[in-house]
Structure 1
Amino acid sequence: MSATVQSSARPAGLRRSAEALAATLPPLLAEARHLAATVQLGEHGRRRAGMGDEFWQYRAAHAGDEARAIDWRRSARADVQFVREKEWQAAQSVHLWVDDARSMEFTGDPKRQAKADRARLLALSLGVLLIRAGERVGLADGIAPPRSGEVQLLRLSEAFTRPAGETDYGAPQARAMLAGSRAVFLSDFMGDPAGVEGALAQAADKGVTGVLMQVLDPVEEAFPFDGRTIFESMGGTLIHETRKAGDLRDRYRARLEERKERLRHLARTAGWLFTTHHTGDPAQGALLWLYAALRKGS
Structure 2
Amino acid sequence: MLTPEYLHALHNLPLAARRAAEGVLHGAHASRRKGAGMEFSQYRPYQPGDDLRRLDWRLAARSDRYYLRESEVDTSLVVHLVLDATASMNHQDDNGLSKLQYGKLLCAALAYVATQQGDAVALTVLQPRGLQHLPPRTDSRQLPRLYHTLENLEAAGRFPDAATLAPLTARRQPALTICVSDLYEENGEIEQLLTRLRAATGEVLLLHLMARNELEFSYRGAVTFEDLETGQQLQLDAGQQRRAWQQQQQQWLRETAHRARTHGFDYQQLSTAEPLTQALREFLRRRARG
TM-score, normalising length from structure 2? 0.72
Shift in Å at residue 293 of structure 1?
Answer: 2.6
1:206 corresponds to? 200
Query: Any unmatched runs of 5+ in structure 2?
Result: 40-70, 125-130
1:145 counterpart SS class: strand
Shift in Å at residue 142 of structure 1?
Answer: 6.4
| Residue pair 1:168, 1:234 contacting (<8 A) in 2 also | no
- 1:239 pairs with 2:223: no
Amino acid at match of 1:91: S
Q: 171-180 or 36-45, which moves further after superposition?
A: 171-180
**Structure 1 residues 263 and 250: CA distance shift in structure 2, 3 A:** same
1:70 corresponds to? none
2:168 corresponds to? 176
Q: Using the alignment, how far apart are the partners of 1:174 and 1:132 within structure 2?
A: 31
Shift in Å at residue 143 of structure 1?
Answer: 1.2
2:261 corresponds to? 268
- 1:132 pairs with 2:125: no
**Structure 1 residues 88 and 253: CA distance shift in structure 2, 3 A:** farther
**Structure 1 residues 102 and 153: CA distance shift in structure 2, 3 A:** same
Greater radius of gyration (CA): 1
Amino acid at match of 2:155: G
2:20 corresponds to? 35
Shift in Å at residue 45 of structure 1?
Answer: 6.8
1:82 corresponds to? none
| Residue pair 2:93, 2:272 contacting (<8 A) in 1 also | no
Q: 168-177 or 188-197, which moves further after superposition?
A: 168-177
Query: Any unmatched runs of 5+ in structure 1?
Result: 1-7, 12-24, 56-85
- 1:280 pairs with 2:273: yes
CA-to-aligned-CA distance 1:116-162 (integer Å, 9 cap, x gap): 11111111111111111111010245610111133111111122123
**Structure 1 residues 198 and 236: CA distance shift in structure 2, 3 A:** closer
- 1:219 pairs with 2:213: yes
1:76-155 → structure 2 map (5 Å cutoff): 89-109=74-94, 111-140=95-124, 143-155=133-145
**Structure 1 residues 218 and 169: CA distance shift in structure 2, 3 A:** farther
> What is the alpha-carbon root mean square deviation over aligned residues?
3.2
1:143 counterpart SS class: strand
Q: Using the alignment, how far apart are the partners of 2:251 and 2:160 within structure 1?
A: 19
**Structure 1 residues 267 and 87: CA distance shift in structure 2, 3 A:** farther
Shift in Å at residue 235 of structure 1?
Answer: 4.9
* Pairs aligned (count): 242
Amino acid at match of 1:38: G
**Structure 1 residues 27 and 171: CA distance shift in structure 2, 3 A:** farther
Q: Using the alignment, how far apart are the partners of 1:168 and 1:220 within structure 2?
A: 20
Shift in Å at residue 51 of structure 1?
Answer: 10
CA-to-aligned-CA distance 1:203-243 (integer Å, 9 cap, x gap): 2322421211111111000112343211113356121112x
Q: Using the alignment, how far apart are the partners of 1:263 and 1:159 within structure 2?
A: 30
More strand by percentage: 2
- 1:249 pairs with 2:242: yes
Shift in Å at residue 249 of structure 1?
Answer: 2.1
| Residue pair 1:210, 1:272 contacting (<8 A) in 2 also | yes
More helix by percentage: 2
Q: Using the alignment, how far apart are the partners of 1:131 and 1:42 within structure 2?
A: 15
TM-score, normalising length from structure 1? 0.70
